[in-house]
Each structure stands twice: as C-alpha cells, then as structure tokens.
Structure 1
C-alpha cells in the first residue's frame, strides 16, 4: 500500500464492474484499473470503452484488461463476478453457484501473489465475503463486503424524500444481512443530528403520515424493484464499491455499513454481516458496536441465524 501508484483490479466486467470502474475514473480514485472477466474480450472491450473517458475527466486513469493471475501488484481487488438470482429466487438461492465461482476466482488471484484488500459485491454478499476470507487466508480486516452500504444509502434517499432534505443530512444504517432479514436501526437514525424517533414524537401532526415500517420495507425491496424492472442493479452498487475503495486507498477512515467478519463484536464469532465499520488503508480498521434496542437486537440475532445457516450449508457442500 506504500506504492505511489494506486492500482485496482475489477473482477467481473459486467454491469456492476463497469459501473464501479466508471465511478472510480470520474472520482480520480486510483491511477490504474485492470478489468478482468471470464470472457477476456469483454474485459478488453470494457477497458477500451472506459479509457475513452479520459478526454473528459480531470485526471487520467490507465485502464487495461488482465487476468486473475495478474493481481500481484494490485492494492485492491474488487469482486463483482458471481451468480445472479432468477425471478422468484432470493440471493441465498444462488449460494452453490456463488461458492464454485468464488473459490475458483480467489484461488487463482491468490496463486498470482495478491496480498492486498478484497472488496466484495457478489451475492449473497455476506456469505461470499466470508468464503473469500476462508479461501484467501487473509486477515479478516482485509476482506470487506459491500453489505448494507447500498441499503443504508437507499434508506437515506427514501427519508430525504419524506422530509424534503438532502440525503446527506440523514445519518443511519440498515443492518444485518444484505437480504430479506435486514432491518433499519431506527434508534440510531438522525436528521441533522436529531433522532428521527424524537422528531416524529414531537411533530405528530406534521409527520403523522410517516410509516417507518413501510420505509423499512421499501429499503429492503429497492434492489428487487430495480432488478425486476431492468434486470440488474448497477449505478448505486457501483458507486458504493468506489466509495469503499476510495476510503481504503486514501485512508479516509469513513464509517460505512459493510459486510465485516465478526470476532466477538455483537457477541458473534466467525460470522460475516452488515455492520458499521471504520474503513482505512488497513481495510476494516474497527467494527463499531451500536447499542441496539431490544427489538433491533432480536432482528440482528435473527439475521445472524439466517447467515450462519447459509455458511453451514456452504460448509456441508465443500
């Protein structure tokens, strides 16, 4: 990480990978991006297309195609390649395919001498992130999943519409599984520093139409709404990946809700789940433990159970 040239590999040159690379180019996050895909020609085509942005950006980013075995000099490897659920399936339904894809990719990347940080977006992201750590053998701090970062962003967008404010004035998190068992930690959501629960209790008439359960449900279902309408999500998750990577490369110490492997935090061990964490040059510098309400704690434990069952199922098929 001490090199002056910041290098990032994007594994999976589809919609999410291309969206991530495009975000990194426009935000001048790194100096080099290597696009990798199982179809090498697609990686070449995406690299060429992305390289044609440079006339219109403030800085130049070198973009080129490569292979899994070429990642030794990369600071960050972003994994977007995975199995996509079909109509009627959940993210957990593609676990077996995701396992096979992830094992192959990570084994080849590590065999090439990679010793940086993984940022994972492939679904089911909490379990895939756990598997990446298992296969790579890297410290838990150097394997980060996008987790509920995108869900937390969706939550802030929904609240910004309800309260007619900039979403960046909202602080709060969706926690747990990036999936059906996720939940909003309402006890920690603030608007302009003021707890949302206090705002609603103090202005009952003004905000009597605000339905927190509906907002929580729309937060959880937002990805599926996009997926069913156009077949994929791309821009939000691509920017989330770029945001996490920027915090790593610039050592920004941003607090982001990511998939982190727990080792005692929240009373959990050997489990990967969406929680707020400080992201810096070492990867996950610290997991933040929120004081959850009893109901939130129950929901968190339920989400842990869902993810652990997935991890156990994955172990049974090894």
Structure 2
C-alpha cells in the first residue's frame, strides 16, 4: 500500500456505496474502484454511470463491477451492504440481519486472499465492525468502522452555525456508540483552539442562548432527521468513508473518530466503539485516550455497556 495502483472495493451499490465512490472519484483518492452488489446488473450499471464522470474529474479512476471473490488484491474493502431501518427501528434492531449478511460477505472475501483493510459502514456499525474482525481474523488495526466520524462532523456543522464560523475551525468529537448512547465530549471541544466551555463562560451574555444539551441531542438525532425526511442518509457518510480511505491510502495520519476495537484503552477490551484514532497506512495506528470529565466518563461507560450487551448477542446466536 502507498506504492503502485491503489485499489478499493465497495460492497453495496446502494446510496451509501455510490456516494462513497462518487466522493473518491472527485477527490482522486484511488486508481481503481470495484463495485460489488448482490445484484450484479446494479453493480455494472453503477460502475458505468460512475465511469462517465471521468471527463469532468481531475484524474481518471478506473471503475468496474466485480465479485467478492475478486477482492484479494484490494488495498481497502468498504462494507456498506445492509438494509435501512424500517419505520422507527433503531440501528441496533438491524443486528441479526446485518450479522448474516456481513458474515457471508467477509468469509467470501477472506477466501479470496484479502489482506488489506476493512472499512465498515453497515449498521449497527460498532457491533458489525467487531464481527468483521472476528470473522476475518485480521489484526484489530485493519478493521475500522465509521463510528462517530459522521456524528463529529454533524457536531462541527451545528456549532459552525451557532458561532458563525467555518466548521473546519471547530475541533471536537462525538464519542461512544454510533447510536442512542453517543455523547459529545464538551471538555475537548475547541473553536480556533479555545475551549468552547471557556468561550461560553467568558461571553455569557453574547452566547446566552447557546444550549449545549440541545446541540448534543441534535447531533445524535441528525441522521434520523435526514432518514425520516428522505428515507436514507448518503452524502455525509459517503464522504466520511472516502475521508477514512484517503487517510489509509495516503498514510495521512489523520485523527478521526472511528469505531475502533479496544484492547486496554479507556480501561476497555473486546468491544468496538467510537473514539479518536490516528488513521494511516495499515489502518488504525494508535487509539487516542482522552482525559474525559467525570460525567463524560459515565456516559462513555454506559455506551460501552450497550455495545457489549449487543456483542454478547452475536456470541449467543453464533
């Protein structure tokens, strides 16, 4: 990886997989993209449609349709396959069906000799990422979930509106489960390098209408708002996948709030959860341990317990 042709396979030619491929093409992230779907004709159609972007892109990306068994020489395999929630189903209610789909996909990919990095977006992403590691047998560094990367981006966007600044001037993370038990680590949110809690304290009158609890709630619920209005999310998560993949292929060492398998960090083991990590060549190079405030620590432990409970369900039904 990092030399020669950079190859990426995207499993799932639906909204998320297509948005991811489109983002990677427009950002010139890799040299080849292979689209895989259970309906081969759909994969072919998406590959053709995406290949027609090349006249207008800055560089050429070869796009083709393929099969799971052809992933052996891929640097990164992105897993988006799965169904959307129905009605008011939570992400966790997708677990049993996602388990069956993901297990079959990963077994077939590994049988083809894959030895790269998995990037997972299928929900519930924390538990499915853990499953991918268990089924694949790859080192934990080479199995990454999108985790709270998209939630952290939503947080920055919300704060950029409140403070009238570019979201890229905001630093901070939503942590924990990519789901109902996630939370914002306000003690580590900064704007232009200055802690947001200090800003609010020093400018109480100017920012008296700022409600951090409401912002945290909107961050958590943003995906559901989009889903209930149009039936899916695609562009934000598609770009998050592209962003993570770019950091892997280019060895960028970006710090991203991904779903990482912990082995002692934060005092936790044998679970996968959204935390900041350095992402580069070979996947996760280091999990960063934040010094959380007491209330944040409580919320983190609660989120861990939710994820562990659902990981246990995987074992029970294995």
TM interval, shorter chain, is over 0.9
- 1:2 to partner: Cα distance: 5.1
- Structure 1's unaligned 5+ residue stretches are none
Structure 2 unmatched runs, 5+: none
Is 1:21 the equivalent of 2:41? no
1:177-197 alpha-carbon deviations (Å, 9 max, x no partner): 000000000000000000000
For 2:294, the equivalent position in structure 1 comes to 294
Q: How does 1:177-216 map to 2 (within 5 A)?
A: 177-216=177-216
Residue by residue over 1:125-150, the C-alpha shift from the partner in whole angstroms, topping out at 9 and shown as x without a partner, is: 00000000000000000000000000
Residue matched to 1:244: 244
Counterpart position of 2:114: 114
Spell out, residue by residue over 1:40-94, the C-alpha distance to the aligned partner (whole angstroms, 9 max, x if none): 0000000000000000011000000000000011000000001321111100001
Give, in whole Å, the separation in 1 of the partners of 2:164 and 2:189: 16
After TM superposition, the structure 1 = structure 2 runs for residues 1-318 of structure 1, keeping only pairs within 5 Å, are 1=1, 3-318=3-318
TM-score by length of 1: 0.99
Could you tell me whether the CA contact under 8 Å between 2:2 and 2:251 is conserved in 1?
A: no
SS at match of 1:30: coil
Q: Structure 1 residue 271: deviation in Å?
A: 0.6
TM superposition shift of 1:314: 1.4
Within 1, Cα distance between the matches of 2:126 and 2:308? Answer: 10
Q: Do 2:141 and 2:284's aligned partners in 1 also have CA atoms closer than 8 Å? A: yes
Q: How far is 1:282 from its partner?
A: 1.5
Q: How many angstroms apart in 1 are the aligned matches of 2:3 and 2:184?
A: 39
| Aligned residues of 2:116 and 2:282 also touching (Cα < 8 A) | no
Q: Return the alpha-carbon distance in structure 2 between the equivalents of residues 126 and 243 of structure 1.
A: 18
TM-score with structure 2 setting the length: 0.99
C-alpha distance in 1 between matches for 2:9 and 2:34? 5
Residues 11 and 78 in structure 2, CA contact (< 8 A), matched pair in contact too: yes
Tell me the number of residue pairs that the alignment of Structure 1 and Structure 2 aligns. 318
How big is the shift at 1:299? 0.1
| 4+ residue segments displaced more than 2 Å | none
Distance 1:82 1:145 in 2: 14
Shift of 1:242: 0.1
Separation (CA, whole Å) in 1 of partners of 2:145 and 2:41? 27
SS of the aligned residue for 1:206 comes to: coil
Matches of 2:227 and 2:83, distance apart in 1: 14
Matched position secondary structure for 1:178: coil
